[in-house]
Structure 1
């Protein structure tokens, strides 16, 4: 080999090194682009890129997405169309702003029987299920074998602890983490403000929370060790269901409620109560309807004589604010009702206005909380 061959050999080595460097940079970029999340069950799920064809089993996840994306419907391929969980008036707002919502595929909700076939037919790039009704391990394996990643989140069993990581997960898989962190900071600041004031008192009024009150003649659906029961404790109350209901939700008999004689009585209702004797409240209902139906709920035998009723400490809340990322409104309402001496000047309307202006793709309006008196 002559000396004239060295430049050619050097150039070849340089080209080889350059190609190797480009390959390594590509691998590094791919690794950085990969999304890895851990769901509420402890499962780690990886995506090559942000999801844009989500399947969800609860309409309230649409509200969660609307806090972090200006067009949440564009992220979905299928949902349960469980309109009562967000309310017909709210759904109409979504239809007006995002007509594509009516063309989305429909799958079973978390309150119905799960169907692998429905999920496969929707061809999502990620399926999001609720902890309270998640598919079995075998069903998840079937979906994953078909190339459909699965994550599980929880806005129902223990929303106080699981809502924030659930919202973070939804943001991570859709590439909207910065937007989620802004809302989480907003929510956390207000949660901490409630927590700080509650720490200043040892008084714990007894609270009776009746979900879907008067939907049937039976009494009384109520939270136990979880669900809104944890919010009641956070807001400085003693949930009377906590001592006898071992799961997140259950039922109290009327005799127990009368014997406990709660200091505060809170009723949830909404459009799902149409055709019953329950509370009609939330977007789409006027104040007179809300107050009349709440008074009807309170007038039931056994309920009308409770200390909370005679003392005028009766309140109504739209059920659509439960198991929802809008839970800060629920927490503030509970705090004001349970400890009016501490939170009498707390302005829920101001909180809602800021959420509407800064976050929600479709603003929340209407009357979602009420005092009977």
Structure 2
């Protein structure tokens, strides 16, 4: 029937619809043109953001993934999405640039129309990008790790333009911009002196010192809400701080960045399906470190667990507002970060918020 309709249209001189050519500028400043919105996507990272922006059916266009950053870094989140989208478990895995296992051959074999990668993946691939493009696979870069308002908005709109979901992308960009703008205004209005903040990746347990962040990740969040990051100038991007330095700095707020690290028995496990009592016990164990009991953050009760995956996504405004409320309680008195995160999931994602993503040590 389609063939007969096509012949009829040609016979009658009817104009056939042109393909929807897509032109965009990605987060590396590269102008990219595709003949149409892609039906086959290799998705490297930012899985939740892609799902939020593309809406129902978006995940059906994903034909390959870099599996480890999702299934291994966020295993309980992965399980939550697998329950809704069982097909993701059988998607071809192209490997991971973080561990040097990314396979250009596997990527090409998946025959995607486009490869959607994070900025850090693009940088790590090097010549692999040219190999993908030589095989006819355009590479589009987005970057929520940059942690700037401009990059978040641009990344959101790039995905929306690429996938034909401009309306959802526009609404999400507007939501993010409104919440970040409101957060900055509240911080400015507070007008109080910056409090010293220490953040540690709480994966190794109290016996080993985890990374802190001098630039990017939680460093950007601390600065956005007017905190004084004690790691600034001590580590370039991330790395452990000397225990003596932390004690000497006397942080007034301590953030223990945790996640769903099932293979790390001493980790502060927050995220999907986290147990509140276990989170409290893991945080409490850090206070057994020499000298920590006397730190201002401990004596004033300002030790907090925070979801490590929350620092580079469209929902990261929630974690900024949580820290804003810790540092400026009066300015953020009417803000409920947990409720805002639950509302975000309810409106934009296919799974409910089920777990612990921020928690104060009791």
**TM-score, L = length of structure 1:** 0.85
Structure 2 residue aligned with 1:79:
65
- Aligned partners of 1:160 and 1:230 also within 8 Å: no
CA distance in structure 2 between the aligned counterparts of 1:244 and 1:298, rounded to whole angstroms:
23
CA distance in structure 2 between the aligned counterparts of 1:345 and 1:281, rounded to whole angstroms:
25
CA distances 1:229-283 after superposition (whole Å, capped 9, x unpaired)? 1111111111111122223x23322121111111110111122164332211122
Structure 1 residue aligned with 2:274:
285
After superposition, the CA RMSD in angstroms is 2.3
Are residues 1:326 and 2:311 paired? no
Structure 1 residue aligned with 2:81:
94
Structure 1 alignment gaps of length 5 or more: 1-17
Report deviation, 1:325. Answer: 1.9
- Aligned partners of 1:315 and 1:337 also within 8 Å: no
CA distance in structure 2 between the aligned counterparts of 1:215 and 1:284, rounded to whole angstroms:
20
Structure 1 residue aligned with 2:38:
51
Structure 1 residue aligned with 2:152:
163
**TM-score, L = length of structure 2:** 0.88
Report deviation, 1:84. Answer: 5.1
Structure 1 residue aligned with 2:225:
235
> How many residues are aligned here?
346
Are residues 1:62 and 2:52 paired? no
Q: 1:45 to 1:358 in 2, by over 3 A?
A: same
Are residues 1:267 and 2:256 paired? yes
CA distances 1:119-175 after superposition (whole Å, capped 9, x unpaired)? 112211111222223255532221111110002222224455422211221121111
Q: 1:75 to 1:37 in 2, by over 3 A?
A: same
Report deviation, 1:294. Answer: 1.3
Corresponding residue SS for 1:52: coil
Structure 2 alignment gaps of length 5 or more: 1-11
Structure 2 residue aligned with 1:336:
325
Structure 1 residue aligned with 2:6:
none
Structure 1 residue aligned with 2:113:
125
Structure 2 residue aligned with 1:203:
193
